[in-house]
Homo-oligomer: A and B are copies of this chain.
């Protein structure tokens, strides 16, 4: 006799995915009820549910109570990115990490930053510019605004010793984050500090974080030329 073992939810997931790839279940089709699939494959409904949870998160199927499970007609490509502390990112590439504080000053939020924070009135913020280096070469230029209302402690930190990036990540958990990517031409400071010519195309990672309703920080992280963001998996 052969070693018939119990079905795991990954088995079920793979089976369903295969059927979708092979068009047994075509785009737009309604899949059988969880319970029927469970009966067919010989496992508990919970196990099918776990499999479907995965497929649903990937974006392969769409599940609606009472409506049933459908294969998505317009499958989206869903990509997930990890954005670690810059120091860690550099070290994981096997490079030597260095950091330089360029400037820091107490200022009022400009309109652009007020918009990012979603606030109506200007607020007192610490404006920090800094450069991250990998193997002594510019890696990322960061232009950051830190809300002194929500994060007064930042004023006591010696930013020559420790990047604001690192201090914040270690000391200020956030409850909400907005992340966006776009391209920018190097100009002025970004060109100088990244040692590139004005006009170079640079990738920008803009991140804004809040704790509850209160803004913490907003940063434009401008990567050196050639930088690529790669999705997990």
A175 at the interface (CB under 8 A from B): yes
Contact with B along A55-94 (1 / 0, CB 8 A): 0000100000000000001111111111111001000000
**Contact segment of A29-37, A115-123, A134-142, A178-186:** A178-186
Nearest residue, chain B, Cβ from A176: B233
A82-B78, A83-B77, A211-B21 given as contacts; is B179 within 8 A of A201 (CB)? no
Segment 207-228 of A: residues with Cβ below 8 Å from B: 207, 211, 223, 225-228
Find A81's partner among B79, B183, B211, B228 (CB 8 Å cutoff): B79
The answer to whether A229 has its CB under 8 Å from any CB of chain B is yes
The answer on a CB contact under 8 Å between A183 and B180 is: no
How far, in angstroms, from A175 to B227 measured CA to CA in the complex? 27
CB pair A229 B182 closer than 8 Å: yes
Count chain B CB atoms within 10 A of each CB in A17, A177, A182, A207 and give the residue with the most.
Answer: A182
0/1 interface trace, chain A 1-23, chain B, CB 8 Å (1 if under): 00000000000000001001100
Evaluate whether A79 and B80 lie within 8 angstroms (CB atoms) in the complex, with A203-B181, A203-B183, A230-B180 already known.
yes
- Kindly name the residue among A27, A88, A201, A202 whose own CB sees the greatest number of chain B CB atoms within 10 A: A201
Show the binding face of A for B, using Cβ within 8 Å.
Answer: 17, 20-21, 27, 59, 73-85, 88, 169-170, 173, 175-185, 199-204, 207, 211, 223, 225-231, 233
A-B contact pairs, 10 of them (CB 8 A): A21-B175, A74-B170, A78-B80, A79-B81, A178-B230, A181-B229, A182-B226, A183-B184, A183-B204, A203-B203
